[in-house]
Each structure stands twice: as C-alpha cells, then as structure tokens.
Amino acid sequence: MIKKIVLLFVSGLIPFLSEALDSRSDPELLKCATISYLKLIDQISCGHFSPEDGSPIISPSCKKILNGQLYTETREDFLNDLYSVYSAQGSWKIRLKDLFIDPESNASVLRLFIEMEKLGIYTAIVILRYDSDYLITEINEVLTQVTGSYNF
C-alpha cells in the first residue's frame, strides 16, 4: 500500500518537474541576448541609431526602471530616450565588469562602468528580464555617479 502511495506521489511529480525544467532558459542564449543588448547600447553611444535596431533584442512593451522609478514603458520610448542622451550629452563608453546569468528567472545581471563624454563617470547595476523568445521585457537599472577615484 505504501509503495502505491509513493509511486502515485512520484508519478504526479514527474510532469511538474519536467515542466519546471523546460521553463528554465538556456544560459548561452541568455548570454548572447545580453551581449546583443550591450552592442546595441554601444551602437547608440556612437550616434548610430535606427528604431528598428532594437526589434530583434527588445520587446515592444519593454519597460525601463531607473533608480526605482518607472522611466519608459515601450521599446520605442527607451530607444528614443537613450538616443536623446547621446544627442544632448555626447558619446559614452561602457565597460562590462561583471555578468551573471540566471536561467531560472530568465534574467541577467550586469555591473557596468560608464564613461560619459560630458557627464562624467558612472557605475550601473542592470537587471535584464527576458521573455521566452529572449526579448528584453524589463530593464531595471541603478545608476550612480562616481565621485573621486575608483579603480574599476
């Protein structure tokens, strides 16, 4: 009797475990998607911008949260805002210092060092959340200006 109960319990878990494993993302695809995002940001930082450039990388309904506040609610708004920073403040260079991939939450976490032409030096922690097609659905960034010197 106990064997039957255990067998029923275990057989009931198999579909659940299988579904949980299937819902995890491929770490390499998450890494590639994150690198594509960084390349897009780098491209915009040099003044090369077309709204279509974000289509294969960013979901149309992607929202950006900056320092805890909702900043943009669409891909178009995000890209236009980023390009407006370039237009008003000049170029920037980004150096990736750390990259953490989390397949279970379908996200990546980046620590960036940003040198802006007119605004100085910043550090950023960015969480990118992806959908099942590896399009970015949320950009959650904490941006802090670096004062004094810091060896990145």
The range of the structural domain enclosing residue 63 comes to 24-145
* Residue (of 57, 7, 12) closest to 33 by Cα position: 57
Residue 4 lies in a domain: no
Residue 95 located in a structural domain: yes
Does a structural domain hold residue 13? Answer: no
Whether pTM exceeds 0.85: no
Residue among 102, 89, 83 nearest 145 (CA): 89
Is 14 inside a domain boundary?
no
Q: Is residue 8 part of a domain?
A: no
pLDDT of residue 24: 63
The H or E element that residue 30 is part of is helix 27-45
Question: Is 79 part of any domain?
Answer: yes
> What CATH number does residue 51 fall under?
3.10.450.50
What is the pLDDT at residue 147?
A: 86
pLDDT of amino acid 17: 41
Mean pLDDT, residues 126-139: 98
In a domain, 117, yes or no: yes
The distance of Cα 136 from the centroid of its chain, to the nearest Å, equals 6
- pLDDT at residue 72 is higher than 80: yes
Count the domains in the chain.
1
Q: Which of the four pLDDT bands, split at 50, 70 and 90, describes residue 1?
A: low
Question: Is the Cβ–Cβ distance between 114 and 90 less than 8 Å?
Answer: no
Domain assignment present for residue 125? The answer is yes
Q: 52 by DSSP, 3-state: which?
A: helix
43: tokens are 């491209």
Q: Per residue in 19-58, pLDDT tens?
A: 444 556 799 999 999 999 999 999 999 998 888 888 999 9
**Average pLDDT rounded to a whole number, residues 71-84:** 95
Q: What angle do CA 99, 149, 89 make, to 5 degrees?
A: 75
Whole-number Cα distances in Å, 124 to 19, 66, 140: 35, 10, 10
What was the pLDDT predicted at 20? Answer: 43
- 64 by DSSP, 3-state: which? strand
